[in-house]
Structure 1
Amino acid sequence: MKYAQYVFLATLLSGIEHCLAQSCTVDSFSVKDNFDPKRYAGKWYALAKKDPEGLFLQDNISAEYTIEEDGTMIASSKGRVKLFGFWVICADMAAQYTVPDPTTPAKMYMRYQGLASYLSSGGDNYWVIDTDYDNYAITYACRSLKEDGTCDDGYSLIFSRNPRGLPPAIQRIVRQKQEEICMSGQFQPVLQTGTLRY
């Protein structure tokens, strides 16, 4: 009798754990419903980041998003980057965004270009996981997938309209979204000193 109870309890706990377990497959991540690029446009400051493999902006990261006459979103980004492990320089990047599926406008494809020959160029998915347009935005990109559909190399940025930070209520929302994209505990703060020396 005790053995049967043990098996039942173990099976029940396993089932509960499975139900509570979150899927980390990239396709299961939700993005901002009815994303509005016009409301998203403007200046954003990175407060935290999860870096991809390779070269990535280090600190003082900001992005200015604008909407062109044809509706295309473009951005100019700035930040400091460390080259060769010791040389810290200010970097300017430009990006253009397309929406492959108009039914999910928050899932964009970003083509980016460093505005200097030593900076990289290329393209990444660019998903707006969540934003309230006035205070915060959480972006996500997965550069490569594992066979099981989870992300092998990805990055994320937590943006704020204010370089000084986010209020506690919004910080709770951001932490929840970090968990939902399976990146909880992987973010580093982004220093915002307000100065980029060229």
Structure 2
Amino acid sequence: MKHTQYTFLVILLSFVDHCRAQHSCAVESFAVKENFDLQRYLGKWYALAKKDPEGLFLQDNISAEYTIEEDGTMVASSKGRVKLFGFWVLCADMAAQYSVPDPKTPAKMFMTYQGLASYLSSGGDNYWVIDTDYDNYAITYACRTLKENGTCDDGYSIIFSRNPRGLPLAVQRIVRQKQEEICMSGQFQPVLQSGESKR
């Protein structure tokens, strides 16, 4: 009898742990950086890993420089390389402007972007800063289309670093945790930083 009770208890505890480990993949449940400080976020960031959306996206040597215009709007100038027709690699520039729909959650921005060449797309996406320490790393997230259940159908995310050579080990652990929290664990591809997009 004691063995049966023990077995039942072990199964129950493992079930509770499993349930505790589960979290919602509904986009609206994703936490973003609390008390986001735009001024500290400004400056240059290098993409180290990315999960692409559907369609054409910058391939490698991706960097973004964030600045504030006179009217207080954050803007970004992004560079990277893009592959066309599966073989033709070109350096590309993109520009973006950011607005904050709800001042109570400044880490949830809306980004309007345009490619500075005819082959690059233009449009608008959410731009959420999931987490950052401002000095080492930042994780951004966007969902372009939602499924009926509130999970993302076409989303993307970028892991940025202030240093193009990588992130400290302790920071890598934080980043992996955040990837799980936005339900994108295992979906990221590394981004080459060889400096070839510099002109």
TM-score range, shorter chain: over 0.9
CA contact (8 A) 1:51 1:155 kept: yes
2:27 aligns to what?
26
Give, in angstroms, the shift of residue 185 of structure 1. 0.7
1:169 aligns to what?
170
Quote the sequence identity (%).
Answer: 78
CA contact (8 A) 1:37 1:67 kept: no
1:70 aligns to what?
71
- Paired with 1:118 and 1:189, the residues of 2 have a C-alpha distance of 24
1:131 aligns to what?
132
- Paired with 2:26 and 2:6, the residues of 1 have a C-alpha distance of 34
Change over 3 Å in CA distance of 1:120–1:4 after alignment to 2: same
Per-residue CA deviation, residues 100-139 of structure 1 (Å, 9 max, x unaligned), is: 0000000000000000111100000000000011111000
Find out whether 1:122 has 2:127 as its counterpart.
no
2:111 aligns to what?
110
Helix, strand or coil at the partner of 1:66: strand
Q: TM-score, normalised by structure 1?
A: 0.92
| C-alpha RMSD of the superposition | 2.0
Matches within 5 A, 1:69-108: 69-108=70-109
Equivalent residues, number: 198
Helix, strand or coil at the partner of 1:192: coil
- Paired with 2:198 and 2:18, the residues of 1 have a C-alpha distance of 51
Helix, strand or coil at the partner of 2:101: coil
- Paired with 1:84 and 1:127, the residues of 2 have a C-alpha distance of 31
Q: TM-score, normalised by structure 2?
A: 0.92
Per-residue CA deviation, residues 136-191 of structure 1 (Å, 9 max, x unaligned), is: 10000011111111111100000001100011011111111111111111111100
Instruction: In structure 2, list runs of 5 or more residues that go unmatched.
Output: none
CA contact (8 A) 1:77 1:92 kept: yes
- Paired with 1:51 and 1:172, the residues of 2 have a C-alpha distance of 21
CA contact (8 A) 1:160 1:166 kept: yes
Give, in angstroms, the shift of residue 49 of structure 1. 0.4
Helix, strand or coil at the partner of 1:30: coil
- Paired with 2:94 and 2:51, the residues of 1 have a C-alpha distance of 18
